[in-house]
Amino acid sequence: MVKSPVHVASPPAKPLLIYDGACDFCKFWIQRWQHTTGDQIDYLPFQDGRIAAQFPELPRENCESAVQLIEPDGEVYSGAEAALRGLAAGHHHHWLLDFYYDWPFVARLTEWCYAFVASHRRFFSVLTRLAWGREVAPPTHQLVRSLFLRSLGLIYLAAFVSLGGSNSGFSWGSGCAASPSQRWKDYANKRPSRKWVSVFITSSRRYVGLAPAIMH
């Protein structure tokens, strides 16, 4: 763990994550985290004058070397621990923080990885742009989810019609030569049983209910 010995006298009302505003890699991920944590945590670059004015106890070199998280109780955290606590404060990925605290070797490995990335920011900034482009908002999968649900509806409709057509109790009776009114009467008299309708509706609700989980 990298809990800083620094304790600020005037802590913020909610967690504040301080980052390097001159680092493109840092700014990209901070903007992405803002979409994830919402208003549960504040973000400020250490170059902002309010940082030095409100937290004179926090050395500038600490901020230059790693992100700093100031909690409402005045405690300050640094590096990977600060990042994980920030995500947990937004009620996201709390399990990562649990792993960090429960498994010492995970904490050491996480801090080593953080230090390695921090010392090669330019390289990882290029990799980030290649992998994610310039879009900082997390993917919503709305289009994929919409297409999935519509396709599922068409599949069920086709299966239902096919099942009804193969059922001896669901035939057009008079064939294609019958008049429209006669075909409608035959259909009304020999419509699918309530059992098949119930099965169709129940199955549809079950799979549509699973769709959001499948898309995530």
Q: Per-residue pLDDT tens, the chain, 216 aa: give them.
A: 556 678 999 999 999 999 999 988 888 889 888 888 888 899 999 999 999 999 999 999 999 999 999 999 999 999 999 999 988 886 667 888 999 999 999 999 999 999 999 888 888 878 877 776 665 455 544 544 455 555 656 665 666 555 555 554 444 444 445 555 565 555 555 555 555 555 555 555 554 444 444 444
Domain hosting 169: range is 142-215
Claim to verify: residue 128 and residue 148 sit in the same structural domain: no
Q: Cα dihedral angle (184, 188, 192, 194), rounded to 10 degrees? A: 150
Is there a single domain that holds both residue 50 and residue 73? Answer: yes
Q: Which letter, b or e, does each residue of 32-64 get, where b requires 16 or more Cβ atoms within 10 Å of its Cβ?
A: ebbebbeeebbbbbbeeeebeebbeebeeebbe
CA distances from 204 to 77, 141, 161, 193 (A): 49, 21, 14, 17
Given this model, what pLDDT does residue 186 score? 56
Q: Please indicate, yes or no, if residue 137 is contained in any of the structural domains.
A: no
pLDDT of residue 165: 52
95 and 171: one domain? Answer: no
- Number of domains observed in the structure of the chain: 2
**pLDDT value at residue 13:** 94
Domain boundary among 132, 152, 185: 132
- Of 100, 132, 164, which residue constitutes the final position of a domain? 132
Give the residue from 101, 132, 163 where a domain finishes: 132
pLDDT of residue 125: 78
10 and 103 inside one domain: yes
